[in-house]
Amino acid sequence: MTKQIKLLLLAFCISTALSAQVTEGEKKLRTVAADTLEGWQTGGLFAFSLSQTSLSNWAAGGNSSVAVNGIVSLYARHKKGKGVWENYLDLGYGLLKEGKEKFRKTDDKIDLLSKYGNRAYRHWYYSALVNFKTQMAPGYLFPKDSVISEFLAPAYNLTAIGMDYKPDDYLSMFIAPLTSKLTIVNNDVLAAAGAFGVDPGKKTRHEIGGYLRFLYSRKDFTSEALKNVSIITKLDLFSNYRVKPGNVDVSWETLIGMKVNKFLTVNLNTHLIYDDDVKIEFEPGKRGARTQFKEIFGLGASLRF
């Protein structure tokens, strides 16, 4: 877990540095605005990128390829009195085709989160959270074309009760000492193999533990170097109280967008995962928990609303 700890410290340092760019006066103004603005606030981001390479009689070798990737991020926030209800939906899907091979997935996610909080004191809220994650389409192990994942295999449902610290409109740190995590593998073959941490032959795994969610989101930087940059970074940590509590599950996602002009944007999307219950074959005949990392970089069009 040493690498995971270093990465978590790096994430904290980056987010702290970004937060430090905001003056105390700006924080007070944002807090006043957030406290007085009631009702619904909605918005979102849609980003699409496409790349294509065509080769014909190319002496240096290589394959023709086409890659497409799409991201949708939506939010809806309702405030009334001391209560705040926040909802987020993140969708992602990507495909890659090289030469005469079939299209392969490069990204696939459904991430739905709903959180309700009631102000306790200043920036602290009594809060409850529900988070559901899965994917849209089957994933295959090439070249055998065997299914290794699909819709609801796996799926993760997390329910947590705790406190949410929100010093401004950008930062949220949710601490939940009472958390229920349900892993679903709704595929007979994968369930029989004990995939994604379920006991062989069972389709669900239930865990009770502690949970920490760190979220930093900003798109209105005042610095000249960052005025066209938007960033969303979220870090989820979960510890199972009953089984190996020291082996913390880690999910850290970051989306950085930079506006080139009115129509074009550059997007960098990264996702780091460590789950001790998910075993990956790293050598023939050898399986074990490994740090998973995904990075998607693209130039394309985006729409923010």
Q: How confident is the model at residue 58 (pLDDT cuts 50, 70, 90)?
A: confident
User: Can you list the positions of beta strands (E) in 167-263?
Assistant: 171-184, 204-218, 229-240, 249-259
204-236 tens-digit pLDDT: 999 999 999 999 999 888 888 888 899 999 999
Q: How many CB atoms lie within 10 A of CB 23?
A: 10
Please name the amino acid found at residue 87.
N
The pLDDT score that the predictor gives to residue 246 is: 94
Q: How confident is the model at residue 6 (pLDDT cuts 50, 70, 90)?
A: very low
Query: Which carries the bigger pLDDT value, residue 180 or residue 26?
Result: 180
- Round to whole Å and give the CA distance between 215 and 86: 13
pTM over 0.95? The answer is: no
The pLDDT score that the predictor gives to residue 36 is: 52
The pLDDT score that the predictor gives to residue 66 is: 93
Q: How confident is the model at residue 298 (pLDDT cuts 50, 70, 90)?
A: confident
Q: Comparing 27-31, 251-255, 278-282, which segment has the lowest mean pLDDT?
A: 27-31
For the segment 104-117, the average pLDDT, to the nearest whole number, is 96
Q: Comparing 83-97, 127-141, 275-289, 291-305, which segment has the lowest mean pLDDT?
A: 275-289
The pLDDT score that the predictor gives to residue 191 is: 96
User: Can you list the positions of beta strands (E) in the chain?
Assistant: 39-53, 65-80, 83-98, 104-121, 124-134, 139-141, 146-149, 155-165, 171-184, 204-218, 229-240, 249-259, 264-274, 280-283, 286-288, 292-304
67 bridge partner residues: 51, 96
Q: What is the dihedral of CA 305, 168, 249, 9, to 10 degrees?
A: 110
**pLDDT surpassing 70 at residue 32:** no
CA-closest candidate to residue 214, choices 5, 10, 12, 9: 12
Tell me which residue has tokens 């929100």. 166
Name the phi and psi angles at 206, rounded to 5: -110, 135
**pLDDT surpassing 90 at residue 105:** yes
- Round to whole Å and give the CA distance between 150 and 275: 18
Q: Exposure string (b/e) for 258-268, b if CB count within 10 Å is 16 or more? A: ebeeeeebbbe
**pLDDT surpassing 60 at residue 10:** no
For the segment 122-136, the average pLDDT, to the nearest whole number, is 97
**pLDDT surpassing 80 at residue 5:** no
The pLDDT score that the predictor gives to residue 204 is: 97
163-215 tens-digit pLDDT: 999 999 899 999 999 999 999 999 999 999 999 999 999 999 999 999 999 99
Output the CA–CA distances (angstroms, integers) from residue 9 to 2, 109, 273, in the order listed. 11, 26, 15
For the segment 284-292, the average pLDDT, to the nearest whole number, is 84
The pLDDT score that the predictor gives to residue 82 is: 93
- Round to whole Å and give the CA distance between 172 and 127: 12
8 A C-beta contact, residue 266 and residue 275: no
The pLDDT score that the predictor gives to residue 253 is: 96
- Round to whole Å and give the CA distance between 193 and 173: 37
Degrees, nearest 5: CA angle 186-188-190: 80
The pLDDT score that the predictor gives to residue 146 is: 87
Query: Which carries the bigger pLDDT value, residue 26 or residue 80?
Result: 80
Query: Which carries the bigger pLDDT value, residue 20 or residue 220?
Result: 220
